[in-house]
């Protein structure tokens, strides 16, 4: 038993970095090489077809199926130059992964042979089996028909010999069975709502887009060590394992020198990612041993989500090539940092103006304040829903521990923005006569001007240049933090399809903006009416009407700042006091994962999704069925693996060591007197007894675990079954782990069969 583990560890530690051939071109020259980008569209499509397709992508024009054949021909011609022989509709079902069915570019030629063909019909839609993917009861097994439909806004790409076509996935009756369809609807809702509000400040803006930057954290484990841990192989996390004497307490891994093997993996990954137009920007060691991060440049949210799903798939493939396994589980190791996927989200205009960034004029700063406040309004009204959007069995282990934000949604703003909002309330309470409006809005300028967002700091070292210091620090415990010109949704888990969080966030902000515009319009109409009557029928001047709009905006902002105050928290999110305070503020403090999912079916959630035409009640109910079922199955698998390891690995190893100690005691009694032997063997006797106690306890607990699963499995509804697994199965697993981890420290190291944390966590 001992030699096998030691051999695996020795093999893992002796591996050398794999040589990666560096491209002779610069990254900018091979970026997007395997993507049907605009320059390829222009080259392989007729000009009229190209113009129509660009209009679909940029302007949201309806896709005319009459151009599909021409687009398909151009795509096929381009792809065949890379040796492509197959195509697939690439979509994102409700299982956190991606799906694809490959078909060859072949049809009968009518003469007994084959010919290569790819038509517009095949490009535009396919028919995967809708009943075999999670659907929450929308489709029965005998109702298998479903459709995938091409999303032209996300460009097609090549993986190996296959042309991959990003698509949405819907049922035969039209309900969304994926993440992309509702995400696109949520993005349409928020960009239209934002555009309507932006027109208060700049009527010439034609378009608003939602942008996203994703910081992907992950662990790497040597493939041989991974294969020797059945729990890692089957669940993605270690279900047992005592802390390593050294883990992250020295803070020496964060931003440390990247190990050579990892550097080779990162280089290979970046090259392949850049060829697929994934704009990899940052790589570094994260806080925990063997933990790393990759972050791209900002992109349109729809494309960023697609790229992140593609990147996770690519990471797994490249890691295998380098003798690693990527762990994307949110908490693969106890006692150290888990992994998140920080979603840096913002809105921007077609003029390049970030709507969550300060401006240079009073009106730009009023616009900045408006979008900050209305984002907070959306987050406040739907804080429970936002938590549900990022919750999972895996992420529940991560939230609230080791620098991960807590499972209470709040927003950190920093002192400067907090002062700005308070200042708006104070001046909004003063006289709002038309001739005071310019004075009122000018108060915003010094608080949010570009010069004020950063201050200069000169160090007492002549060689070091003057530093520009942000006036607002960062709060690592905030789930939704303002970071200067965007919000960072830090609570999203590393393995998740972040479309789930982006659907909820963009929908919540869209609803807040729609409501804001409605109330401003009402105030403007009321103010215009009263001022017109005072002017004895004279027409109102444009300047006067502009002042009226500003006054209406500020009055509405003051109202909303007071309303959303409970979501604003700049303090320590880990403290017990914050939990009590958050509850007093009316924020959602629920910690049970299955109960958190209920927020999707709250009346206000259903009303928001339906009013914005994102999802209907039936689709929301189906998704919750999937969430509850997925939660149950993940815990069920973990419980079965833990029971198997307990009975077939841990207890046999422990009793084997116990027998060895017992033989030692008996041998000592043959040599020495009973009294002398007992004295000499006191420690061994103590260990023998402790092993007996713990193995007996583990065996009994495994039986109780099996019984708890049996009872839970008999529950008819998925919601109640998930609750039973959370309340009765998970606690028993934690108790079993406690005793196994104690045994690991008792049993002789050479007998323990499973690689330990000290071996798993340090790449040589």
Q: Give kind and range of the element (H or E) at residue 508.
A: helix 499-534
685-727 residue pLDDT tens: 889 999 999 999 999 999 999 999 999 999 999 999 999 999 9
365-403 residue pLDDT tens: 899 999 999 999 999 999 999 999 999 999 999 887 666
The pLDDT of residue 444 is 55
509-535 residue pLDDT tens: 999 999 999 999 999 988 877 766 655
**703: which residues sit within 8 A by CB, 6+ positions away?**
none
| DSSP E strand boundaries for 415-516 | 454-457, 467-470, 480-482, 487-489
The pLDDT of residue 12 is 84
The pLDDT of residue 448 is 47
Question: Distance between CA atoms of 248 and 423, rounded to whole angstroms?
Answer: 43
Write out the two tokens for 732.
């028993």
Is 484:470 a contact under the CB 8 Å cutoff? yes
Q: How many CB atoms lie within 10 A of CB 199?
A: 12
Q: State the average pLDDT over residues 495-514.
A: 97
* Mean per-residue pLDDT over the chain, rounded: 89
Q: State the average pLDDT over residues 334-356.
A: 94
Categorize the per-residue pLDDT at 465 as very low, low, confident or very high, splitting at 50, 70 and 90: low
Is 303:55 a contact under the CB 8 Å cutoff? no
The pLDDT of residue 450 is 46
The pLDDT of residue 286 is 92
Categorize the per-residue pLDDT at 452 as very low, low, confident or very high, splitting at 50, 70 and 90: very low
The pLDDT of residue 457 is 62
The pLDDT of residue 473 is 54
Q: State the average pLDDT over residues 268-273.
A: 96
Q: Hey, CA dihedral for 468, 471, 477, 478, is it positive or negative?
A: negative
Q: State the average pLDDT over residues 304-320.
A: 97
122-169 residue pLDDT tens: 999 988 877 788 888 887 777 778 899 999 999 999 999 999 999 999
218-248 residue pLDDT tens: 999 999 999 999 999 999 999 999 999 998 8
Residue written as token pair 């994703």: 214
Q: Give kind and range of the element (H or E) at residue 75.
A: helix 68-80
Q: Which pairing describes strands 480-482 and 411-412: parallel, antiparallel, or unpaired?
A: parallel
Q: State the average pLDDT over residues 208-219.
A: 96
Question: Distance between CA atoms of 72 and 123, rounded to whole angstroms?
Answer: 6
Categorize the per-residue pLDDT at 434 as very low, low, confident or very high, splitting at 50, 70 and 90: very low
Inform me whether the pLDDT recorded for 115 exceeds 70.
yes
The pLDDT of residue 460 is 63
Query: What is residue 277's three-state secondary structure?
Result: coil
Residue written as token pair 């799906």: 99
Report for 137-141, 250-254, 279-283, 414-418: range of highest mean pLDDT: 279-283
Backbone torsion region of residue 174, taken as left when φ is above 0, otherwise alpha when ψ lies between -120 and 50, otherwise beta = left
Question: By 3-state DSSP, what share of the chain in percent is helix, strand and coil, each rounded to 5?
Answer: 55, 15, 35
Burial of 405-420, coded b for 16+ CB within 10 Å and e otherwise, reads: bbbbbbbbbbebbeeb
How large a percentage of the chain has pLDDT more than 70? 91
Least Cα distance to 20 among 323, 322, 325 occurs for: 322
Categorize the per-residue pLDDT at 569 as very low, low, confident or very high, splitting at 50, 70 and 90: very high
Residue written as token pair 């010999």: 161
The pLDDT of residue 403 is 65
Is 0.85 topped by the overall pTM? Answer: yes
50-83 residue pLDDT tens: 999 999 998 888 888 889 999 999 999 999 999 9
The residue ranking higher by pLDDT, 112 or 540, is 112
Question: Distance between CA atoms of 34 and 314, rounded to whole angstroms?
Answer: 14
The pLDDT of residue 442 is 57
649-683 residue pLDDT tens: 999 999 999 999 988 888 887 888 877 777 888 88
């Amino acid at each position: 038993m001992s030699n096998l583990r030691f051999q695996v560890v020795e093999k893992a530690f002796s591996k050398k970095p794999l040589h990666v051939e560096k491209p002779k071109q610069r990254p900018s020259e091979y970026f997007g090489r395997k993507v049907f980008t605009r320059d390829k569209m222009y080259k392989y499509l007729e000009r009229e077809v190209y113009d129509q397709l660009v209009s679909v992508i940029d302007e949201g024009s309806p896709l005319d199926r009459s151009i599909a054949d021409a687009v398909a021909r151009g795509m096929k011609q381009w792809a065949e130059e890379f040796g492509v022989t197959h195509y697939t509709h690439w979509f994102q079902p409700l299982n956190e992964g991606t799906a694809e069915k490959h078909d060859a570019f072949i049809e009968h030629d009518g003469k007994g042979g084959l010919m290569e063909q790819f038509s517009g019909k095949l490009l535009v839609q396919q028919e995967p089996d809708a009943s075999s993917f999670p659907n929450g009861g929308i489709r029965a097994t005998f109702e298998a028909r479903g459709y995938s439909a091409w999303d032209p806004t996300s460009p097609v790409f090549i993986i190996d010999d296959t042309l991959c076509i990003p698509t949405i996935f819907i049922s035969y009756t039209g309900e969304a069975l994926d993440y992309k369809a509702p995400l696109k609807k949520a993005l349409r809702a928020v960009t239209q709502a934002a555009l309507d509000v932006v027109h208060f400040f700049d009527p010439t803006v034609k378009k608003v887009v939602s942008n996203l930057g994703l910081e992907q954290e992950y662990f790497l484990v040597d493939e041989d060590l991974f294969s020797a841990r059945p729990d890692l192989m089957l669940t993605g996390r270690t279900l047992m394992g005592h802390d390593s004497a050294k883990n992250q307490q020295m803070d020496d891994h964060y931003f440390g020198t990247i190990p050579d093997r990892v550097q080779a993996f990162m280089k290979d990954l970046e090259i392949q990612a850049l060829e697929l137009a994934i704009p990899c920007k940052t790589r570094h060691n994260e806080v925990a041993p063997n933990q790393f991060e990759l972050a791209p440049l900002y992109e349109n949210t729809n494309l960023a989500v697609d790229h992140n799903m593609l990147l996770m798939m690519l990471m797994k493939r490249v890691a295998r090539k380098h003798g690693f396994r990527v762990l994307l589980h949110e908490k693969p190791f106890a006692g150290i940092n888990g992994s998140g996927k920080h979603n840096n989200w913002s809105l921007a205009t077609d003029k390049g103006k970030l709507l969550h960034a300060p401006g240079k004029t009073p009106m730009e700063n009023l616009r900045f304040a408006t979008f900050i406040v209305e984002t907070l309004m959306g987050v406040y009204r739907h804080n429970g829903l936002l938590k549900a959007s990022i919750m999972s069995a895996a992420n529940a282990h991560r939230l609230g521990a080791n620098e991960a934000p807590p499972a209470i949604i709040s927003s950190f703003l920093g002192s400067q923005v907090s002062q700005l909002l308070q200042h708006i309330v104070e001046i909004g309470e003063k006289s709002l006569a038309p001739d005071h409006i310019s004075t009122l809005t000018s108060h915003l300028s010094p608080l949010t001007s570009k010069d004020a967002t950063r201050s200069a700091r000169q160090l007492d070292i002549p060689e070091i240049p003057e530093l520009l210091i942000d006036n607002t620090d960062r709060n690592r415990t905030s789930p939704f933090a303002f970071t200067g010109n965007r919000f960072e949704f830090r609570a999203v888990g590393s393995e998740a399809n972040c479309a789930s969080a982006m659907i909820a966030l963009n929908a919540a902000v869209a609803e807040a903006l729609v409501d804001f515009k409605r109330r401003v319009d009402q105030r403007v109409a009321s103010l215009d009416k009263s001022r017109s009557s005072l002017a004895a029928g004279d027409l109102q001047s444009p300047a006067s009407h502009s002042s009226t709009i500003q006054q209406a905006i500020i009055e509405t902002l003051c109202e909303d700042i007071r309303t959303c105050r409970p979501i604003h928290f700049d303090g320590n999110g880990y403290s017990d006091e914050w939990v009590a305070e958050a509850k007093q503020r009316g924020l959602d403090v629920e910690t049970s994962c299955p109960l958190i999912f209920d927020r999707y079916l709250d009346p206000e959630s259903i009303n928001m999704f339906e009013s914005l035409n994102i999802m209907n009640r039936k689709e929301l109910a189906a998704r919750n069925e999937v969430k509850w079922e997925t939660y149950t199955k993940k815990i069920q698998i973990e419980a079965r693996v833990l029971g198997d390891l307990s009975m077939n690995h841990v207890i046999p190893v422990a009793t084997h060591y116990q027998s060895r100690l017992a033989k030692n005691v008996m041998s000592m009694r043959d040599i020495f007197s009973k009294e002398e032997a007992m004295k000499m063997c006191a420690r061994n006797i103590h260990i023998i007894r402790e092993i007996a106690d713990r193995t007996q306890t583990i065996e009994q607990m495994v039986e109780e675990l099996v019984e708890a699963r049996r009872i839970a499995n008999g529950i008819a509804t998925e919601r109640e079954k998930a609750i039973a697994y959370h309340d009765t199965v998970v606690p028993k697993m934690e108790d079993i782990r406690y005793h196994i981890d104690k045994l690991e420290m008792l049993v002789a190291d050479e007998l323990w069969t499973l690689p330990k944390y000290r071996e798993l966590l340090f790449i040589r």
